[in-house]
Structure 1
Amino acid sequence: MYTLKELIKITRKQLALDYNCDITDFVKKGNTITTNDLLNDRRIYSHDGCLLKILCYRGIAIITTDKELIPWVKEKLKDEDASWLFEYPKLRLIDRKLNDFGHEIADIHHYYIPDAKAQFITPLFDIKWYEHQDIHQFKNDDRFNEALAFEETHPDMLAVAAFDGDQIMGMAGASADSKTMWQIGIDVLPEYRGKGVGANLTALLKQEILKRGKVPFYGTVESHDISKNIAFRAGFLPAWAEVHSQKMES
């Protein structure tokens, strides 16, 4: 298992690859502006290479963008307090500037890493584990769209399901979003919600990922209180937030 210090070190190293910055940028004062060079071993998603993406981490921001936008970013965002950078008035300002280039804000997520002091969790239900080669059977099962990604750039590596007899109650899955960090997603069937299924499966999967020498992380959006509560109850701590852009549809 990792200490919190080790978890933070691995997380910073990965985010530095994702945002083309130096790991020391996470401990210096002030925000950092970088160009969106695509580094090996970065996390690769559908917005890879987007015009603008911003990482807020412990009161600082890493702003990665195209060279054309850098003068504006320096003027408007460089000296902003990163803790408040994702307030709506600032996001509206950013979105309007992106519109000038035919782009817009696409998504805002915040992310969690394990609490190294979290209590060890045991199963509350009958469970079954699925390794990478076993997960394909769920490819066309839309009950588990959050738990399983089926993406080549971040393949599903491990999943765990809770059962009520022969009926799956819920499933947590982990995708290898990078060599060191696996992202957890969770789905609980409507009739089994509110029974602790999501938190228990997420915690079990988190523990198993840590045993395998990877760092699990969990992402959600600000308005999803149920998802945030699952993260906290499963032994996760808030770690960083991200926003990224996309090209506007014509």
Structure 2
Amino acid sequence: MNNKEILRIAMKQSAIDLSCEPDDFRSTQNKVVLSSENNDARKDLILPFFCHLISYGDNIVASVAATIADVVETYINQFEVGHCFETPNLYVLNKALEKHGMQVCFMAEYFLPDLDCLKQLPCQYDLKVLQPDDFSSLYVSEWRNALCKNRKELDVLAVGAFDNGKLVGLAGCSADCETMWQIGVDVLPDYRQQGIAAALTSTLALEIIKLGKVPFYCCAWSNIRSVRNAIKSGFRPAWVELTAESIVFIDDLNK
């Protein structure tokens, strides 16, 4: 596996998720496709999309419902690629979505490992690779980013940091699809800023690669602490996503 192959695998998966072709992400022309269900899509996604945008940097591929296709096509061709994912331009899309009872909801940046930089980083605490039976009792608030209580069956591997037997940091990965496993990490507040998160993330990423899977990392671009951890751990920005959800769904999240 090399960086080129990792990117190819990621684009292939994004194409499955969006009902398009992998080469669509390499084009300089934007593209709109109709979203459809796919059993091979990432398990954290709810298909079909009403409006979902992905950019690997050169263009935007939008996977949408037929009722919003023309509006989205006009939007992504009206503004520069990067600006379509930020305000003030994003208000134009949001206003159009609201007519259908939808709004912009999830926005995130995704990272892939750079194999020229990825290495196991040191940690002053003991690191241990954990299997599902080892972390079955760890579905508590302290580890909500490393493990997902609502999708326990997808959590396949983890790495813990232990201070004299006490778990102080945990990185876990979920098998979101056949080829790619997503990493999440938590460190107890009193143990932060000691390099534990990066040590856990880099160690888990290498374990995932050993198993023939591609590790990936996701966070909001405003989450500077998480972005720094991704970069320190040997990951680099690869693509961004934006998802619309119903206003009812968003209001419920905000309660």
TM-score range, shorter chain: over 0.9
- Asked whether 1:111 is paired with 2:110, we answer yes
**1:112–1:240 contact (8 Å) kept in structure 2:** yes
- TM-score computed with the length of structure 2 as normaliser: 0.92
* AA matched with 2:85: F
**1:174–1:183 contact (8 Å) kept in structure 2:** yes
Superposed CA deviations along residues 56-111 of structure 1, whole A, max 9, x for unmatched, are 11221111111011111222223533232212112111111111000111110000
Q: Which residue of 2 aligns with 1:130?
A: 130
Superposed CA deviations along residues 162-207 of structure 1, whole A, max 9, x for unmatched, are 0111221110000001000000000010000010000110000001
* AA matched with 1:94: L
* AA matched with 1:75: T
SS of structure 2 residue aligned to 1:60: coil
Matches within 5 A, 1:1-250: 2-45=1-44, 47-78=46-77, 80-124=79-123, 125-139=125-139, 141-152=140-151, 155-249=154-248
Question: CA–CA distance in 1 between the matches of 2:107 and 2:135?
Answer: 28
Question: CA–CA distance in 1 between the matches of 2:36 and 2:182?
Answer: 23
* AA matched with 2:47: D
SS of structure 2 residue aligned to 1:138: coil
* AA matched with 1:127: L
Give the C-alpha shift of residue 153 in structure 1: 8.6
**1:17–1:40 contact (8 Å) kept in structure 2:** no
* AA matched with 2:205: K
**1:206–1:216 contact (8 Å) kept in structure 2:** yes
Which moves more between the two structures, 147-156 or 207-216? 147-156
- Count of matched residue positions in the alignment of Structure 1 and Structure 2: 248
Report the CA distance shift for 1:247/1:24 in structure 2 as closer, same or farther (over 3 A): same
* AA matched with 2:22: I
Question: CA–CA distance in 1 between the matches of 2:47 and 2:135?
Answer: 25
Question: CA–CA distance in 2 between the matches of 1:227 and 1:89?
Answer: 25
Question: CA–CA distance in 2 between the matches of 1:119 and 1:156?
Answer: 22
SS of structure 1 residue aligned to 2:9: helix
* AA matched with 1:132: P
* AA matched with 2:138: F
SS of structure 1 residue aligned to 2:110: strand
**2:11–2:22 contact (8 Å) kept in structure 1:** yes
Question: CA–CA distance in 2 between the matches of 1:49 and 1:221?
Answer: 23
Give the C-alpha shift of residue 122 in structure 1: 4.9
Give the C-alpha shift of residue 119 in structure 1: 4.6
SS of structure 2 residue aligned to 1:209: helix
- TM-score computed with the length of structure 1 as normaliser: 0.94
* Structure 2 residue runs without a partner (length 5+): none
* AA matched with 1:129: V
**2:25–2:55 contact (8 Å) kept in structure 1:** no
Question: CA–CA distance in 2 between the matches of 1:240 and 1:112?
Answer: 7
**1:123–1:204 contact (8 Å) kept in structure 2:** no
**1:172–1:202 contact (8 Å) kept in structure 2:** yes
SS of structure 1 residue aligned to 2:171: strand
Report the CA distance shift for 1:207/1:175 in structure 2 as closer, same or farther (over 3 A): same
RMSD, aligned α-carbons: 1.6
SS of structure 2 residue aligned to 1:101: coil
